[in-house]
Amino acid sequence: MPTLDVFNIEGKKIDKIEVSDSVFNVELHKNAISECVIQEQANKRQGNAKAKDRSEVSGGGRRPWRQKGTGRARHSSNRSPLWRHGGVTFGPELRSYYYSVPKKVKRLAMRSILSDKVREGVVCVVDAINPKEFKTKQMAKILVNLKVNDVKSVMQPEGKDKLSNNKIEKLATKRVLVVTRESEEKVYRSFRNIEKVRVLPSNSISVFPLAWAERLVITKDALLKIEEVLK
C-alpha cells in the first residue's frame, strides 16, 4: 500500500498515512482520462449562438411585387436570405453540448490520475489548513513551507491600471489544486488572489482540475473521504 507523509502548515512532517491500492496504485488509463476531460470541457460550453432564418425574421409577409409583368426576378418575400435584412440560411442554432460518460469510466479516470499524481510525488497531505489569520499572505507562506510552490509578490506595471499602480499581485510558479473535506469559505477567499491556485471541496473535484494541477495539496480528512468514495 502506498504511504504518504502528513505535514502541518509549517512544513514539518508529523505523521504518515497508508492509502488504498485500489484508489492510489492504479495503472494509468490515458483514454479514460482524456474522455472525461473532453466531456467536462464540452459540458461547460454555452451553445447560445443563434441566427434567425427567413421564417423567424420580422416582416416579409407580403410579396414585394407581383409574379409576372414587371420584368424583374420573381420573389416571394423581402425576408428571403437573398435580400438585405433577410434570414440566414443554415445559421447557428441553439444547442446543448452536454453529454455524460459512464460512471465506471469516471471512477477509473479519477483513480488513475490520483495514482499517477502519487507516483510522481506531487501530492502533499496536510493535517489541516488552520492558520492564525486567513489572509493571502499566510496562504502564500503555507505553499512555500510545503515546498509545493514559489509565490512571489510583484508590482503591477505603471499605466496598466491607474487605480492600482501600487497593487501587489501574488504570482505562483506552479499550478496548485488545494482540496478540503468540506467547502471552506475562509480558505477559498484567502487563496483566490494567488495566481494558478484553485480551491475545491472533496465532493467537487473531478478529472479536469486534477489533470490541470501540477501540485496537489489535500487535507488528511479530504484524502480519507475521497478514498472512501472511490474504493
pLDDT of residue 35: 97
Instruction: Residue count of the chain, please give it.
Output: 231
pLDDT of residue 60: 85
Residue 193 near residue 170, CB atoms below 8 Å: yes
pLDDT of residue 32: 97
Using alpha carbons only, how large is the chain's radius of gyration in Å? 27
pLDDT of residue 163: 46
pLDDT of residue 18: 93
Does pTM surpass 0.85? no
pLDDT of residue 153: 63
pLDDT of residue 1: 82
Residues of the chain short of pLDDT 70, as ranges, are 151-172
Residue located via cell numbers 418575400: 77
Rounded (10°) angle between helices 103-120 and 220-230: 140
| Tens digit of each residue's pLDDT (9 = 90 or more) over 3-20 | 999 999 999 999 999 999
Cβ contacts of 57 within 8 Å, gap of 6 or more: 79, 85, 86, 87
pLDDT of residue 152: 66
Fill in the amino acid letter for 185.
Answer: E
* Distance, first Cα to last Cα, the chain: 13
Task: Compute the distance between CA of residue 14 and CA of residue 198 in angstroms, rounded to an integer.
Answer: 25
Burial 101-133 (b: 16+ CB within 10 A, else e): eeeebbbbbbbbbbbbbbeeebbbbbbebebee
Task: Compute the distance between CA of residue 79 and CA of residue 53 in angstroms, rounded to an integer.
Answer: 9
List beta partners, residue 171.
Answer: 152
Domains and CATH numbers, the chain: 3-28+103-230 (3.40.1370.10)
CA distance readout (Å), 74 to 6, 58, 85, 113: 81, 21, 18, 64
